[in-house]
Homo-oligomer: A and B are copies of this chain.
Amino acid sequence: MTAPMMSTVAVVGAGVIGRSWALVFARAACNVRVYDFVPEQAKRARAWFEAELDRNRVGGVLTAAQTAAYRERVRWCGTLEDALANAEYVQESGPESFELKESIFAELDQAAGSEAILASSTSAHDIAEITAGLAAARRCIVAHPVNPPHVIPVVEVLPGRETTNEVVERTCAFLAEVGQTPVRLKRYVPGFLLNRMQAALVREAVNLVDSGVADVDAVDAVIRDGLGLRWALLGPFGVAHTNADGGIRSYFARYGEAYRDLMDDLGPTPTFDAALVEHLGRGTEAMLRGVSHAELLRWRDRLVIGIRELKRANPLPVRDGADPGPGAKPD
């Protein structure tokens, strides 16, 4: 494996997201420095990391040499200064609180190298606000992963007002190099792309159960054995394109009015009160029929990796400037 463009990376905050980032970077041959302000959290992250490597070695996914190499690349640091020394890229993954992020970035501004890229895993906040007034603001950027990033590749990349284009480009290039799929947003909106679309789907899913149209398992089945099978391959626009013989223009020309009526009929924001959450909890437990939380996560990870391998082995046959061949041009 050739050396990555950022040879030393710091992960600051070692919760569920931070620990998974550590694995992403170690896998890509970076030197990884992990730190958490809460020593107990760092300890749990290290235990998870070790268990994950062991499980993958026993399962034949990783060789003993690979697990040894990954282990060797990660240092679990006792101080922030130690974690930041020589780091060219910092992935902040602290708790999702504006005040905490603001205070962490103020520390990074002081303690990180003067050219280091300071990326935040925030799913909720505007990096321009978090880093307002900091000297490092031009090097700060959102790099919001999907849980867990060592399994799901998409990372939403969003610069602040002061972030330079060079920082955006280098962040995207680095994320692609370590095996992720960077996706660029042009401007800040709450929830970015991912959580807005997830919230839209969840809102309607919750309404369908809450209003008694169907139970939890029925709603989930429509996604996992229906819409989700297409969405693992094509987003909503790609799917729309496949759903009419004439492609997406003809799809929206034909169904736009029906869509408008349906969209106007969608349910309101649910309360998420205790009774509703209990109802959803019971329905979900009934659906999962005794599968433990840990088993479910392992199953999800294994199958997501399987789907990604299937896609890698069968790329979409794009033409990209090559001779489109006979039949590809309109008559």
Contacts and interface: CB of A to CB of B under 8 A. Distances in A.
Interface of A: 16, 124, 146-147, 152-154, 156, 181, 183-187, 189-191, 193-205, 208-209, 211-216, 218-238, 240-243, 245, 247-249, 252-253, 256-266, 269-272, 277-278, 280-281, 283-284, 287-293, 295-297, 299-300, 302-304, 306-308, 310-311, 314, 316-320, 322, 324, 327-328
A265 B195 CA distance: 12
B227 A231 contact: yes
A261 to B, nearest CB: 7
B269 A221 contact: no
Contact of A314 (B266, B272, B303): B303
B201 A186 contact: no
A147 B181 CA distance: 28
Contacts of A252: 272, 277, 280
B227 A198 contact: yes
B235 A224 contact: yes
A196 B139 CA distance: 42
Nearest to A299: B316
Nearest to A226: B154
Given A263-B269, A280-B248, A185 B156 contact: no
15 contacts: A154-B221, A183-B225, A186-B214, A199-B204, A199-B266, A200-B266, A224-B234, A228-B231, A228-B232, A233-B299, A248-B281, A248-B284, A249-B278, A295-B317, A299-B317
Given A201-B201, A318-B290, A242 B300 contact: yes
A210 to B, nearest CB: 12
Contacts of A257: 272
Contacts of A219: 193, 197, 235-237
A141 B103 CA distance: 60
B223 A197 contact: yes
Given A191-B262, A248-B281, 9 more contacts: A146-B230, A153-B225, A154-B225, A193-B219, A196-B204, A224-B238, A229-B232, A248-B280, A249-B277
